Structure 1
Amino acid sequence: MHTKYGYDGGGLGMINVLVVDDSAFMRKLISDFINEHPGMKANDTARNGKDALQKLTKHKYDVVTLDIEMPEMGGLEALTHIMNDHPCPVIMVSSLTQEGAEQTMQAMEEGAVDFVGKPSGAISLDLHLIKEDLIFKIEAAAKVNMSAHLNKKTIPGRLPAKKTLPHKIEEKKILAIGTSTGGPKALQNVLPCLERNFPAPIFIVQHMPPAFTESLAKRLDHLSSISIKEAVDGEVAKKGTAYIAPGGKHLKVRKMGMSLVNEVTNAPPLNGHRPSVDVLFSSLAELKEYHTAALIMTGMGSDGAKGLLEIKKNQSCLAVAESKKTAVVYGMPKAAANTAETDYNLDLDEIAPFLNQQFCRT
């Protein structure tokens, strides 16, 4: 049972995992963590990418954990081959360094569904610190909709609106986004498609550990017309800028005079999450004179659903969830749709045109 994140141990059957790492010690440690869980089994191990591809040719696995730094064939090269020849959910196992973060973001773009960070380098004797996170992410990865995950097409266009945000120029608007497993790729489908003069600040919670959100923000900023950065405590939020909650910290938004200010805190995790979508959304619910479009995209669990309901009760809100058709993991969007009765359930490719229509129409 995985009570911290709400996993009850049922519904999937046995999850078969291939563990890939060049260290025999790390292979055994990761395998032991997996085998201690009643719903999972480390079926086999591989010492590098080349070895892993040979194993994948002979057997089918529900999830692969893939180290990045390995001899003969590293994780990034192996990942490319896996996505082309044996597409399946892959979780990267990365060092918690700036270089490791950049490689991990590249891996997410190449098709990895999630990652965990080794706490103290390639041979982490303290790997038990991320054991719970690893088990949770393997369980989430096993639920991934691979056809949705691998779909890269983009459909331009505008959507008819059954409910809209107020469009008077003086109206104060906010866009808030929450996502988890599969989120980096989903964000890459949405943020670069927003119009350059997007007339609202954007606040984002992507479940990530420390050291990785800065790399995510830089990659998204490079691809986008709007500005995207990691949120800093005390900074004034500007229209046309997206602020991503730093990994391992909560992001709140408060009013100061006529401005909105980011508040980054080390408050305890909420329901296992820090950053938490619910924490961000609850702070936005206090801004009663604002109008919020709140978007929940792919992710496991229910983070954001209660906060979305709070926003709807306290202010003019447009509630949007990613559809089951395109969500890599349809957990968070489903919870939002059920708990807060979302106004729209949109395919991933429809979201950016819809937001441009809502915020940027004259």
Structure 2
Amino acid sequence: MKKIRVLIVDDSAFMRKLITDFLQEEESIEVIGTARNGQDGLKKIELLNPDVVTMDVEMPIMNGLEALKEIMRKYPRPVIMLSSTTKEGTDNTIKSLQYGAFDFIAKPSGAISLDLFKIKEQLKEKVKLAVTANFKNKQILVRNEKNIPHQIKEYSKIDTYSEKSTTYSEEKRLKDKIVCIGTSTGGPRALQHVLPKLPKDIDAPIFIVQHMPPGFTNSLANRLNSMSFITVKEAENGEIVKKGTAYIAPGGSHMHVIQTGTSLVIKVDKSEIRNGHRPSVDVMFESISQLKNYYKVAVIMTGMGSDGTEGLKRLKTTGIVDAISESEQTAVVYGMPKSAYATQLVDKVEHVEDIAASIMNFIKK
């Protein structure tokens, strides 16, 4: 069996040694070289042609973010970023995901993490997953936060579900509306394709679960907010929901949506981990399934595993719901969308760049 050839880029000799030792415990992984900074890393990539690169975000001479841009421009391949949870570290990590990094891992205790063993298994799994990632037809999105988003498309008024009864359509128009989105690996870039294309006056709130550890979702929300017409924010416990706002579940916490009188209210908690995830798409979808008199659009995008599938089933059996899954062609990891599609409950399969238009077609019907 061909081994996965990995290059490790980190300015700390101690960290390079630890990561090398961890990865080489796996028979399927071979560490073929190390580099001390981004500049050194670029030379080693050209020389050694690794399958996967692990790269520290914060390094001297050339940091991980600058090196990543060059890798994606000259030698595109899966890059896994290792990040601290400082404000600068989390902001740069979110940028790296939107510049083309495959995924990231949070260092347990800063730049030099003596307890790096805590993320050892996670690191091995992400390296193995990275070589299966879909890097075909990926456009690297390098945007300035102040850029004005692309002009909103004219959404088709064609009823793609004309075979459904008039009663169904009229009942749907009478209801308040909710959009709920679940995503994981590759999600930050996928969300960057979707949220900036939604109009400010969208007649619905948007709820999002993106699998992330604590400390990173606020940076993700701020970055997406800077490029969107709608407001994008990290969800807060107890806040009253507003239309035209996207709420991202805080990393490490579940997000529930409950009805209080005529208002929807967000509940955030650290209840039991579901299917290895907190936040969990299933938990969010199941809470939304309990809301009566709402028409719902559910979206499942790129990610490993099946989170969101059971929640989609609950949504479909308890209310009026249209479901969208991301296509295999554009999903970085075609796990969660594939699992959802296999239920035969998905109404539309869309390339990521067309998901916003599909959401608006459903909302406006």
Which of the residues 274, 278, 294 maps onto 1:274? 278
1:141 aligned onto 2:139: no
What is aligned with 1:317?
321
Structural mapping, 1:282-297, within 5 Å: 282-297=286-301
TM-score if structure 1 supplies the norm length?
Answer: 0.91
- Structure 1: distance between partners of 2:159 and 2:87: 42
TM-score if structure 2 supplies the norm length?
Answer: 0.90
Which of the residues 83, 86, 98 maps onto 1:97? 86
Q: Residue 187 of structure 2 contacts residue 301 of structure 2 at CA under 8 Å; is this kept in 1?
A: yes
Q: Residue 149 of structure 1 contacts residue 182 of structure 1 at CA under 8 Å; is this kept in 2?
A: no
Which of the residues 83, 90, 106 maps onto 1:117? 106
What is aligned with 2:199?
195
| One-letter identity of the residue aligned with 1:305 | T
- Structure 2: distance between partners of 1:41 and 1:341: 41
- Summarize the Cα distance change of 1:350–1:115 in structure 2 as closer, same or farther, 3 Å threshold: same
Q: Residue 156 of structure 1: CA displacement?
A: 4.4
Which of the residues 37, 40, 43 maps onto 1:51? 40
What is aligned with 1:163?
161
1:347 aligned onto 2:347: no
- Structure 2: distance between partners of 1:237 and 1:128: 40
- Structure 1: distance between partners of 2:311 and 2:105: 26
- Summarize the Cα distance change of 1:269–1:13 in structure 2 as closer, same or farther, 3 Å threshold: farther
What is aligned with 2:147?
none
Deviates more, 1:44-53 or 1:13-22: 13-22
| One-letter identity of the residue aligned with 1:118 | K
- Summarize the Cα distance change of 1:76–1:131 in structure 2 as closer, same or farther, 3 Å threshold: same
SS in 1 for 2:178: strand
Q: Residue 77 of structure 1: CA displacement?
A: 1.4
- Structure 2: distance between partners of 1:71 and 1:357: 48
SS in 2 for 1:175: strand
SS in 2 for 1:267: coil
- Structure 1: distance between partners of 2:68 and 2:281: 30
1:307 aligned onto 2:305: no
- Cα deviations by residue, 1:224-246 (Å, 9 ceiling, x for unpaired): 11111100011111111110000
What is aligned with 1:263?
267
Q: Residue 187 of structure 1: CA displacement?
A: 0.4
| One-letter identity of the residue aligned with 1:163 | Y
SS in 2 for 1:352: helix
SS in 1 for 2:15: helix
- Summarize the Cα distance change of 1:69–1:152 in structure 2 as closer, same or farther, 3 Å threshold: closer
Which of the residues 174, 180, 187 maps onto 1:183? 187
SS in 1 for 2:53: strand
SS in 1 for 2:212: coil
- The runs of 5 or more residues in structure 1 that have no matched partner are 1-11
What is aligned with 1:83?
72
- Structure 2: distance between partners of 1:116 and 1:149: 22
Q: Residue 217 of structure 1: CA displacement?
A: 0.4
- Structure 2: distance between partners of 1:360 and 1:322: 20
Q: Residue 334 of structure 1: CA displacement?
A: 0.6
Which of the residues 12, 15, 18 maps onto 1:23? 12
| One-letter identity of the residue aligned with 1:54 | K
- Structure 1: distance between partners of 2:2 and 2:287: 39
SS in 1 for 2:355: helix
Deviates more, 1:68-77 or 1:224-233: 68-77
Q: Residue 221 of structure 2 contacts residue 248 of structure 2 at CA under 8 Å; is this kept in 1?
A: yes
Structural mapping, 1:203-282, within 5 Å: 203-282=207-286
- Summarize the Cα distance change of 1:262–1:25 in structure 2 as closer, same or farther, 3 Å threshold: same
Q: Residue 46 of structure 1: CA displacement?
A: 1.3
Aligned-pair Cα RMSD in Å: 2.1
1:74 aligned onto 2:53: no
- Structure 2: distance between partners of 1:31 and 1:156: 48
- The runs of 5 or more residues in structure 2 that have no matched partner are 143-149, 163-167
- Summarize the Cα distance change of 1:16–1:288 in structure 2 as closer, same or farther, 3 Å threshold: farther
- Cα deviations by residue, 1:153-186 (Å, 9 ceiling, x for unpaired): 9894545443388466541211000011111011
- Structure 2: distance between partners of 1:174 and 1:211: 26
- Structure 2: distance between partners of 1:132 and 1:256: 42
- Cα deviations by residue, 1:291-327 (Å, 9 ceiling, x for unpaired): 2110001111111111111111111110110001111
SS in 2 for 1:146: coil
- Cα deviations by residue, 1:194-240 (Å, 9 ceiling, x for unpaired): 01101111100001111110011011111111111100011111111
SS in 2 for 1:112: coil
